[in-house]
Structure 1
Amino acid sequence: MQQHEISPEVITELIQFLSPNIPRYLRQQALDYIVGLSASNQFNIIFQMKNFLLGRSLCRLACEDNVDENCVISSLINVSSADVKCAGYIASNSELIQQCIGYCRDDNVPRSLNAAKLLSNLSLHFPDKLYHALIKDWKDATADIITRLNGTSLCEVTDYLGYILVNLTSVAKVRCLLCDKFRQILRLVDCSERPKRRLIAIDILRNLCFEKMLYKTRELRAKDKREREDDLEKRKLWLMN
């Protein structure tokens, strides 16, 4: 698709059909067209036209009730993977981000999967912003994601939450938090039957190698183990006497 095929006027007319007040079948036709358009290499330009007119409409619509948010988020996934500026615009929409974080924790798999995919894209470019948004409503996010990765469920949502965690390891505070989960992460490396999660664990551990706290944690654990062993030896000697 060439850039001149879609004019700003056409986008303006198209956006009129994205209102939650428009009949559902008309809005769905417009969304289906936009999802197809989002796979083109010019969608990032269209998304930014007229000061993000389409981008603003899609982000707003994704937060509305009684709207097929899967179609909306699908288009946001495509554009956020192709253009950092568009990803930055989406990441700046705090209401949408908080809604996606909530979706990641519910049982609606198609919706939670799309939300996790979008957050994975955004966390690659804006890890600090995503981390602060994540802990706002999901304080134990890092620990919960590690627990889910170690769980028996093969749900793809968990894999994408793992990709988010890999991206967030560029944040020093996240690396420090994950140092305490070192053993749980290490267990995933042996999961040959779950290669995606194995690679996630390897990526996390690789990034943790840059964190001094990891070595301090391991040293403290080794010291604690030695002290416990020494204490046990002293107890044995005391009993013998």
Structure 2
Amino acid sequence: MTADGDGGDQAQTQGDGHFEEFVEFLTAETRSDVRKTALNYFEGLSLSSEGVQLFKENDFAIGKRLRTLFHTSSSDQATILRILTNICAHASDCVQFVLSADGESGSSLITAVCSRFRTADDLAAAESGAKLLSNISLHNAYAVWERLHGVWPDFVREAVALLNREDREAYTNYVGYVLRNITTLNEVRAQVIEDESVLLDLLPLMNQERWPKRKRIAVDIVRNLCFQDNRHEQLLSRPQVLVAVLTPLIGPEELSSEENDLLPIELQYMEPSKTREPDVDVRIKLLETLYQ
């Protein structure tokens, strides 16, 4: 997924003649308007396959410049994060570069991103950071979780709380994507399952229409939880889980008394107006959840 959210537009590059010149402008000492022009050039370039290849050249020379600039020019951080997000949407080796340490400082750019995106004081930078973490966690969930947990110990609980809030919608959705991606890890799944309040706050998102993206996030997370066989009994011990999974699958069909009695009590004798979840992908994921 690229930083503009569409994942597919290809940028028109300005020609090789500008490339080396613009690289030299990626320093905090460069005049701000010139530096902004250079960053805008690389942001456009980052949407193309040519841009990805250029990013990798000379041992990630552009990336190293951007990484240093991120730490030395706070006003450029949102743009830098968008560039890195676009690059990481294309290549796993670019993801590994972003995850690597900054040489002598020993501090990881991604750790700095985790710290900044927690507070959301600068919403533009926070949204850009959340998008980058979303892309990286698709490739390396553990690396993101390791760094994120170090600076945001209550991330799982607070992310679910954010998903139930109305404000900062774009930022919150990307926080949700990060949570979805890291629930592929046993350690994170354990946190969700064992903290009953977190799990019960997550389930209502599966059966609401206000935030379709968050519904899909919640469904994906619950499906991830069910991939862990040794947790099935624990999940089923909370009847709300099965109710949340089955409710979207139930339509207006009439059931016999015997069939009805097999359902959880909350699903018996539902209103005739009850309709089935219209999103086919959501229904498929719910069925996959039941078959785990």
Indicate the TM-score class for this superposition, using the shorter chain for normalisation. Answer: 0.7 to 0.9
> Which residue in 2 is equivalent to 1:30?
38
Task: List per-residue Cα deviations over 1:194-232 (Å, max 9, x = no partner).
Answer: 11111100000011111235324346668xxxxxxxxxx
Partners in 2 of 1:61 and 1:76 — Cα distance? 13
Task: List per-residue Cα deviations over 1:42-84 (Å, max 9, x = no partner).
Answer: 1111001101101111122122234321221111111100111
Deviates more, 1:18-27 or 1:145-154: 145-154
Picking from 89, 95, 108, the partner of 2:108 is 95
Partners in 2 of 1:28 and 1:49 — Cα distance? 22
Q: Is the 8 A contact 1:20 1:67 kept in 2?
A: no
Change (3 A) 1:130 1:183: same
Within-5 A mapping of 1:9-158: 11-93=19-101, 94-105=107-118, 106-153=120-167, 155-158=169-172
Unaligned runs of 5+ in 2: 1-10, 102-106, 240-292
Question: Counterpart of 1:46 in structure 2: which amino acid?
Answer: L
Q: Shift in Å at residue 150 of structure 1?
A: 1.6
- Count the aligned residue pairs: 219
Partners in 2 of 1:166 and 1:101 — Cα distance? 16
Higher alpha-carbon Rg: 1
Q: Is the 8 A contact 2:12 2:45 kept in 1?
A: no
Partners in 1 of 2:44 and 2:143 — Cα distance? 29
Q: Is the 8 A contact 2:99 2:108 kept in 1?
A: no
| SS at 2:49 equivalent | coil
Q: Shift in Å at residue 170 of structure 1?
A: 1.4
Change (3 A) 1:85 1:192: same
Partners in 2 of 1:33 and 1:145 — Cα distance? 34
Change (3 A) 1:187 1:6: same
Deviates more, 1:184-193 or 1:212-221: 212-221
Deviates more, 1:107-116 or 1:131-140: 107-116
> Which residue in 2 is equivalent to 1:210?
227
> Which residue in 2 is equivalent to 1:191?
208
Unaligned runs of 5+ in 1: 223-241
Q: Shift in Å at residue 89 of structure 1?
A: 0.7
Picking from 8, 16, 19, the partner of 1:6 is 16
Deviates more, 1:148-157 or 1:129-138: 148-157
Task: List per-residue Cα deviations over 1:173-195 (Å, max 9, x = no partner).
Answer: 01111113322211111221111
TM-score (structure 2 length as normaliser): 0.69
Change (3 A) 1:192 1:154: farther
Q: Is the 8 A contact 1:34 1:75 kept in 2?
A: yes
Q: Is the 8 A contact 2:12 2:44 kept in 1?
A: no
Partners in 1 of 2:112 and 2:166 — Cα distance? 26
Partners in 2 of 1:62 and 1:15 — Cα distance? 14
Deviates more, 1:187-196 or 1:91-100: 91-100
Q: Shift in Å at residue 2 of structure 1?
A: 10
| SS at 1:22 equivalent | coil
TM-score (structure 1 length as normaliser): 0.83
